[in-house]
Amino acid sequence: MIVVEIYSKPDCSLCDRAKVKLNELQKRHKFELREILLNESHPKYAEFSDRVPVTVINNDITFDYRIPEEEFLRHLISLSRTSA
């Protein structure tokens, strides 16, 4: 199963839009979605706090700020083929 993680912060409109988009994309291609809320005590805070939302697919940092839909789906399809 492909795992997509989205690192986000509270009151982040880009994060909210990215989460909506990921929920819509789950209808087109199966993946497990995990949301990680960043706060100052989170180990990735320094690395990700200025780049949210950060999308990570199977432990690979894939997108910052926005999720280009077609590129995201191509990435998932490619991963599905290599894991089959």
What is the C-alpha to C-alpha distance for residues 64 and 47, in angstroms, rounded to an integer? 12
Query: What are the structure tokens assigned to 14, written together?
Result: 């880009």
Residues 56, 33 contacting (CB under 8 angstroms): no
Q: pLDDT tens string for the chain (84 positions)?
A: 999 999 999 999 999 999 999 999 999 999 999 999 999 999 999 999 999 999 999 999 999 999 999 999 999 999 988 875
pLDDT of residue 84: 59
What is the C-alpha to C-alpha distance for residues 2 and 38, in angstroms, rounded to an integer? 22
- Domains contained in the chain, CATH given: 3-83 (3.40.30.10)
The C-alpha torsion from 16 through 40 and 52 to 75, rounded to 10°, is: -100
pLDDT of residue 58: 96
